């Protein structure tokens, strides 16, 4: 145990902690991030909202790749970091979680009171009529529409899709909205270039503003979508602690930074704070 972990455990033990988590907490579950040690930024350009809604060919490519990648996402399981966060929450030390992730692993690991800032891959929305369905239902419909569709994929990308050859994409058949039949289906996540719903942002700000400590886990804070909460905490004099592998754009606002794997640090924090053996929902 290093001095930084010991110091953070003492800060956590005082409670009223709000967590802001990023992709780095899910890398040990096999989901890469964009900018950290497992990042795929150099090999993968994420889908933008403008391209998705404006280019039918891009939508087909996205859904074909996402159809294959969904199986890997659905198989991903919470790691020791997710479970440790849930134990800290059940122990009464963490009052809420704002996650930039769309993988649902915090909840699968036992956490509640989670605000999914960028939405969830487990839901699908029709941009025409607003109908919302589960990703499982859409996957079933796509399977029926694509009998025998087999594609060899490379590693999964952070937004849940994979790389496929053009000829594989060309074979993929789309399906329409079950309600209006003509609307464009989109995963209920915030794409690059899209705005996070104002009400959701407001809830996140309220949560952060009520915290005694803001703990950032596994985020480079490169984009303002997450960094704004660190800026707000700093403006209000709320201490910020960052645990991430590599530097972040929020380091200058933090009272403490730890460069360490979350799968190691978080279980140790749960042990030091007495939350290690907490069970139940």
The reported pLDDT for the residue numbered 157 is: 67
Q: Residue ranges for the binding site?
A: 100-103, 126, 129, 177, 180, 218-220, 244-246, 262
Those residues with Cβ within 8 angstroms of residue 24's Cβ, 6 or more apart along the chain or in another chain:
33, 36, 217, 218, 219, 220, 244, 245, 262
Given a cut of 50, whether residue 180 has pLDDT beyond it is yes
pTM over 0.95? The answer is no
More reliable by pLDDT, 208 or 156: 208
Q: In what order do the strands lie in the sheet with 119-126?
A: 132-134, 119-126, 185-189
Active site residue 106: no
CB contact burial 16-42 (16+ within 10 A = b; e otherwise): ebbbbbbbbbbbbbebbbbbbebbbee
The reported pLDDT for the residue numbered 39 is: 45
Given a cut of 70, whether residue 182 has pLDDT beyond it is yes
The reported pLDDT for the residue numbered 154 is: 61
- For strands 94-99 and 213-217, give the pairing: unpaired
Token output for 101? 């992730």
Among the listed ranges 55-69, 86-100, 143-157, which one has the minimum average pLDDT value? 143-157
Given a cut of 80, whether residue 34 has pLDDT beyond it is no
Asked whether the beta carbons of 141 and 122 are under 8 A apart, the reply is no
Integer angstrom CA distances of residue 243 from 24, 166, 188, 221, 249: 10, 40, 28, 11, 12
How many residues can be counted in the chain? 281
Residues 105-124 have a mean pLDDT of: 96
The torsion angles phi and psi of 58, rounded to 5 degrees, stand at -65, -35
**Cα 196–chain centre separation:** 14
The reported pLDDT for the residue numbered 63 is: 94
By C-alpha distance, which of 39, 254, 271 is closest to 159? 39
Give 162's pLDDT tier (boundaries 50, 70, 90): confident
Give 32's pLDDT tier (boundaries 50, 70, 90): confident
The reported pLDDT for the residue numbered 267 is: 97
The reported pLDDT for the residue numbered 280 is: 62
Asked whether the beta carbons of 255 and 230 are under 8 A apart, the reply is no
* 44, 82, 83, 118: the active-site residue: 118
Q: Indicate the average pLDDT of the chain.
A: 91
Given a cut of 90, whether residue 134 has pLDDT beyond it is yes
189-245 pLDDT, tens digit per residue, is: 999 899 999 999 999 999 999 999 999 999 999 999 999 999 999 999 999 999 999
In the block, residue with structure tokens 């991030």: 33
Outline where DSSP puts E strands in 16-82. Answer: 17-21
The rounded distance, in Å, linking the Cα atoms of 223 and 46 is 14
**Cα 52–chain centre separation:** 20
The rounded distance, in Å, linking the Cα atoms of 19 and 72 is 26
37-86 pLDDT, tens digit per residue, is: 444 444 456 789 999 999 999 999 999 999 988 877 888 999 999 999 99
The rounded distance, in Å, linking the Cα atoms of 205 and 221 is 16
Given a cut of 70, whether residue 279 has pLDDT beyond it is no
Q: Three-class SS of residue 126? A: strand
The reported pLDDT for the residue numbered 159 is: 64
The reported pLDDT for the residue numbered 74 is: 85
Q: Which domains does the chain have, with CATH numbers?
A: 1-31+78-118+195-281 (3.40.50.1220), 40-75+122-189 (no CATH)
Q: Which helix (H) or strand (E) holds 141?
A: helix 135-145
Q: Which helix (H) or strand (E) holds 95?
A: strand 94-99
């Amino acid at each position: 145990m290093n001095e930084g972990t010991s110091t953070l455990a003492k800060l956590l033990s005082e409670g009223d902690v709000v967590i802001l988590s990023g992709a780095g907490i899910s890398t040990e579950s096999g989901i890469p991030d964009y900018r950290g040690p497992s990042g795929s930024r150099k090999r993968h350009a994420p889908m933008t909202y403008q391209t998705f809604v404006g280019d039918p060919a891009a939508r087909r490519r996205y859904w074909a790749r996402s159809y294959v990648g969904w199986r890997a996402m659905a198989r991903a399981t919470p790691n020791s970091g997710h479970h440790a966060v849930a134990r800290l929450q059940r122990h009464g030390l963490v009052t809420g979680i704002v996650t930039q992730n769309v993988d649902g692993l915090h909840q699968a690991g036992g956490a509640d009171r989670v605000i999914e800032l960028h939405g969830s891959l487990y839901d699908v929305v029709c941009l025409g009529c607003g109908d919302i369905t589960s990703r499982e239902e859409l996957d079933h419909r796509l399977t029926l529409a694509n009998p025998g569709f087999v594609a060899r994929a490379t590693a999964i990308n952070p937004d849940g899709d994979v790389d496929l050859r053009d000829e594989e994409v060309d074979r993929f058949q789309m399906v329409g909205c079950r309600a209006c039949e003509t609307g464009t289906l989109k995963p209920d996540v915030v794409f690059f270039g899209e705005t996070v719903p104002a009400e959701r942002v407001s809830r996140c700000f309220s949560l952060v503003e009520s915290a005694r400590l803001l703990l950032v886990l596994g985020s480079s804070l490169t984009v303002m979508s997450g960094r704004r909460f660190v800026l707000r905490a700093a403006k209000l004099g709320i201490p910020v602690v960052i645990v991430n592998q590599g530097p972040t754009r929020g380091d200058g606002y933090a009272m403490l930074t730890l460069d360490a794997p979350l799968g190691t640090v978080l279980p140790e924090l749960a042990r030091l704070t007495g939350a290690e053996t907490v069970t139940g929902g």
